[in-house]
Each structure stands twice: as structure tokens, then as C-alpha cells.
Chain A
Amino acid sequence: MDLLQNLAIGFGGALSPINLLFALFGCLIGTLIGVLPGIGPIATIAMLLPITFGLSPLGSLIMLAGIYYGAQYGGSTTAILVNLPGESSAVVTCIEGYRMAQKGRAGAALAVAAVGSFFAGCVGTILIAAFAPILAKFAEQFRSPEYFSLMLFGLIAAVVLAHGSVVKAVAMIVLGLLIGLIGTDSQSGVARLTFGVPELYDGVDFVPVAMGLFGFAEIMTNLDRPSSERKATSPVTSLWPTRQEARRAIPSVLRGTAVGSFLGILPGGGAVLSSFAAYTLEKKVSRWSAEFGSGAVEGVAGPEAANNAGAQASFIPLLTLGIPSTPVMALMMGAMTIQGIAPGTAIITERPALFWGMIASMWIGNLMLVVINLPLIGIWVKLLKVPYRILFPTILVFCSVGAYSINSSTFLILMMAGFALLGYVFAKLGCEGAPFLLGFVLGPLMEENLRRSMVLSFGDPIIFVQRPISLCFLLLSLGLVLLIVLPQFRQTREEAFQE
């Protein structure tokens, strides 16, 4: 069977001792940063990107995948123990997880979250392995108009699924697109909006933007809060769930996985939407629905599984179409580009070892989290007790050195400071950084495809409607726009994000 053969190639690459070591190291260091209060997967990956640059392409992707899973796991640990979500998808985990911790079931909540995530990760991995090649085959018919419409759809989905003001999310995307266009124009060779700075000729570098907007801005907003607001950690006793907890968690994990795998493929905030949807579903179907809000194990198991399945499934559009559907995937794409890999349809046929190796490593990363990381929980809890005044200078220094090590440029560090300030201002003004990052990454791609389409059609925009696949994406986009305009849906959306 093709699938098995492919997976064998993948595991052959991923199971080499050095790559296993990268996966392990990625998981550990991802957890290490992800567990820090208030720092979610996006910030973690942005901070840790530079340490992967020196590795081989496969090694660096394996390590990044490890960092991603580690960061997610670390994020739920903090959500459960301190009630501080690192990112929006962990908000749901806080609701029931923290209550469980208060009842003395912190260990069980962590174990259920980890095992649930592992199961969902396995399903997600199989899903990618099975569907990515099919989707890639289908995507081979895509030309510029299709790609443009697809990206437009992705951006609109990002607006609908972002929380907070729709208008501001649109503005952030437009701003991201604009910043993304800085640099030498690929067709005419004109340096655009570079202000004569040679470092900008190749475009605004990805790492300082991500680090500044997500890593540093996070630190700056945290320092605005008095330290007394930071909460005490719940003690972790036994990691073993009781028999009843396990019995109640299993169906929730299954449902969560299904929800996450389905919603995660959608462009936009796959993981966030999945966890919210899974929580609502659990609340509806659970026999113990009265317990929700006071520490129901289903409310941890379902959303955590959905979150992970969604995160896994969101790799599919990146690996098959070359289009990042979430900010984390935008970071992954940035990392791949730096490694000289162009994500997209060609990656499966041209670099099968890399593609399948990465898929295999996702599964390995998930396994490592359960087998190695979960028992280390004591260490991660201790980390939560390190005072913030020690943590943040450490993070700042490592990020700065990391950013400098990319290409020894002082200018990039200064630019990073600029984006840190910008990110801080955004946070104060209630503007989300995530849509900005998506726009920033997609900007040059969208421009290229739009210009090519216009050349193809002799300047007639009707080309986007004439081609069936492109029309489909446009109709889907229109549907999303209608959804957001309709008052009913708007209300549900606001309620969902309020919880």
C-alpha cells in the first residue's frame, strides 16, 4: 500500500538518532518556553525559530514540530495550573481545567489533556498522510486565479474567526499585506518603501516581525500588570485519573478529535474554533452537564483533543497548497522558506523524504510529549514558580541573540524593537496580531498571483468568476461575509468568544 510505504520512508528519516534527538530537544524546549505564563505557541515558536536555522531542513522541521507540540502542551499546563491561557485556544482549557486543579485533580487534568492530545495527534497524523497527497494532486490544477481566491478566502476566514472587532481585524490584515510588500518588486526590480535601507531590499525579515509582535510585546504587556495579579500554582499530586474520570474522558476525546480534524482543515483559526466548538458540544451531550463550570473532565478532554487535532489538520493546507491557514502555520512557512523549501504541491513529489519525514516526526513528537514530557511535570511546575523579574530578561536576551545570529544584522534587532513597540501598541488598542501576521506572509504571494491573473485575463477581473474552482472559493468567502453580517451568527460568535 502506498500510504504504508510512504510512512515507512518518513519513519526511516525521522527515526535516525540525530533526528530523534532534535524531536526530543524541540519538545522539551517548546514546553520550557510554552509553560511560561502568558506565552502561547505563537510566541514560543517565534522565539525559538533561530535555533533551528543551523540544522538540516528535515532536522529543523522536526525540531519545529516538536517545539509546536511542546508549546501547546506547556500552554495547557499553565492554563490548568495557573488559569492563565497562553493563547486563545487554551482559554477553554482554563474553564474546566483550572476548576479541576482547584479540586485537587490537577494531575488528572494534565494527564487527560496530554493523552487526549496524543490520541488526537495520531488521528491527525494519519489524516494528513491519507489526504495530503490527494489534495496536492487536486491542487495541481490550481493556477494564479485559484490561488488568489483561495488566499482571499483564507484571509476572510481569519477575520471571521478572530475574536474582537471585525473592522480592526480587517485593518490588521491590510496592514500586514502592506508591510509584506516592502522590498524589491519581483517583476520590475523597483525597491518599494525601503527608505534606502539595504536590509529591506529582500523584504521585511520574518523573524524580527514575529519575535517583536508576539514575544516582546507579550513581555511588555505583562509588565504593565502588577505582580500581585499573577496567581498561585495548584499543587500536582497524582497524574493518574480515576477510573470514572477515564471512562468519562474517552468519548469526549473521540468527539473532540472528530470536531478538530474537521474544523482544522478550514483556513482561519482552526485550533481556536475547534476547541470552542468541542467545548460547546461536550456541554450539550454530556450526562454530567451540570458539572460544567465546576471542573468537568469532559470539558478538558474534548477541547484539548480538538485543539490538537485541529492544529495537526492545519498543516494540510500549508503542505499541500503552500498556504498557511493559521499564524503558527505562517511561522512554519517562514521557517521552511528560510530553509529553502517552498511549501506547496511540489513538496510531496519532489522531496518525499522531507515531507513524509515531517509527518512521521509529528507523530513522534506527540508520543514524546506523553512518554517523556508528562512525567517531567514536576520540573515544569517549578518553572512556574520562577519570578517574572528573572524570566523576562532571560527571554529578552536569548531572543535578541537568536535574532542577531540569523544574519548578524544590527538593523534587524532595531527593527525588532520597533515591532515590539508596535505589538505593544496593538495590544493596548485591542488589535490582534494574528491577522497581521497572516497578511504579512500572504502579501507577496497574493500580489504575484493577482498580477499574473490580470495578465492572463487581459485585465478583466471576471477571470476569478469564470474559473469554477476560483468561483467556489469566492462563493465561500461571500458566505463567510454574509455570516458575519447576519445578526444571528454575530451574536453566537460574540457569545462564543466571551465564555
Chain B
Amino acid sequence: MIRVKNPQDFWAGVLFLAVGSGGVWFGREYDIGVIMRMGPGYLPRVLSLALIGIGLLLALRALALAGPAIQRSLVRPQVFILAAIVVFALMIERFGLAPAVFVAAIVAAAASREMRWIEAAALAFALATGTIVLFIYLLGQSMEKWIF
């Protein structure tokens, strides 16, 4: 059985390999052209192939040379942070600024294990007010404060 001796490099290599392959696949219909007149597909193809090459190199080298382990990753904070951004994106147009900010702030606060509900609600309220003042009144952005 082959052992991965350098997990960071190995997975980075896999990532680059995947993106490079994606680039080749999705760019397969673009005209490559000739070197004198490069088509729109020329550089994307070259760069994708380069990524594949580097990815392979990294992944294979990681089987031979030892390297640092990947640091532990907590699931909770990452999920809640990403969820907060997505929630904001989905709410801003339908409900307006204040509700979107309020909910996003609470979801974000839940990313920390030290979260306290009352504190988070107070913070979310303050942020909703603060963003309205800053972005709508001070910066004059045309955003709806709230939509019912």
C-alpha cells in the first residue's frame, strides 16, 4: 500500500490536478488557433496543462518526501461562516438589508462555540442598524432597508 508522506502537498496536488483537468474539459470547444494567431482557447489550454503537470509532480513527490500534516479542521465554524454569507446573499433581495444582516450575523455568531444567544441577538441588532446608517445614509447606496 502506498503511503502519503506529505498530506498538504498531496492534496494540493490533487486540487491543482482537478482544476487543470476541469480547465481542459470545459475549454475543449474553444478555438486553440496557431501560435501566430492565438485563439481564445490557447492560453487556457496551456495553463490547464501546466496545472495538471504541477499537480502530478506535487502529488507524486508527496508519496516520497515527508512533510507537515494538515492541521485539524473544525466543521462547525466553517459551515456556519459559509452559511452566513449564503444566507445574506439569499435574503438581501427578498427581505432587504436589515433582516438579511440580522439573520446573517446570528448565523455567523453561531460559528463560535462561545456564542451566547442574547449577546448575538444584541450584536445582530446593532449591526443591522449600523449597516443601514453607514451604507444607506452615509454612503448613499440604493438598498432597501427592509421589504415586507
Which residue of chain B lies nearest to A187 when distances are taken between CB atoms in the complex? B40
A490 to chain B, nearest CB (A): 15
CA distance A388 to B141 in the complex (A): 29
In this complex, the member of A175, A188, A420 whose beta carbon has the largest number of chain B beta carbons within 10 angstroms is A175
Contacts of B78 in A (CB 8 A): 220, 223, 421, 424
Does B147 lie at the interface of the complex (its beta carbon under 8 Å from any beta carbon of A)? Answer: no
Does A151 lie at the interface of the complex (its beta carbon under 8 Å from any beta carbon of B)? Answer: no
**B residues near A, CB below 8 A?**
8-9, 11-12, 15-16, 19, 23, 26-27, 30-31, 34-44, 47-48, 50-51, 54-55, 57-58, 61, 68, 70-74, 77-78, 81-82, 84-86, 88-90, 92-93, 97, 101, 104-105, 108-109, 111-112, 114-115, 119-120, 123-124, 127, 131, 134-135, 139-143
CA distance A286 to B106 in the complex (A): 53
Does A190 lie at the interface of the complex (its beta carbon under 8 Å from any beta carbon of B)? Answer: yes
In contact, A174 and B50 (Cβ under 8 angstroms) = yes
In contact, B104 and A389 (Cβ under 8 angstroms) = no
Contacts of B55 in A (CB 8 A): 171
In contact, B9 and A388 (Cβ under 8 angstroms) = no
Contacts of A165 in B (CB 8 A): 9
Q: How many residues of A are counted as interface, with CB atoms below 8 angstroms from the partner's CB atoms? A: 62
Known: A165-B9, A167-B57, A193-B26. A397 touches B105 (CB 8 A): yes
Contacts of A401 in B (CB 8 A): 88, 97, 101, 131, 135
Contacts of B82 in A (CB 8 A): 417, 420-421
Known: A174-B51, A224-B72. A393 touches B123 (CB 8 A): yes
In contact, B81 and A455 (Cβ under 8 angstroms) = no
In contact, B143 and A405 (Cβ under 8 angstroms) = yes
**A residues near B, CB below 8 A?**
51, 54, 165, 167-168, 170-171, 174-175, 177-178, 181, 185, 187-188, 190, 192-193, 195, 216, 219-220, 223-224, 227, 387-390, 392-394, 396-398, 400-402, 404-405, 408, 410, 413-414, 416-417, 420-421, 424-425, 428-431, 447, 450-451, 454-455, 458-459, 461
Contacts of A190 in B (CB 8 A): 30-31, 40
In contact, A397 and B127 (Cβ under 8 angstroms) = yes
Q: A220-B77, A397-B104, A421-B78 are in contact. List 17 more A-B contacts (CB 8 A).
A: A171-B51, A178-B23, A190-B40, A193-B44, A388-B112, A390-B119, A396-B104, A397-B88, A397-B127, A398-B127, A400-B88, A400-B104, A404-B143, A424-B78, A428-B71, A429-B8, A429-B12
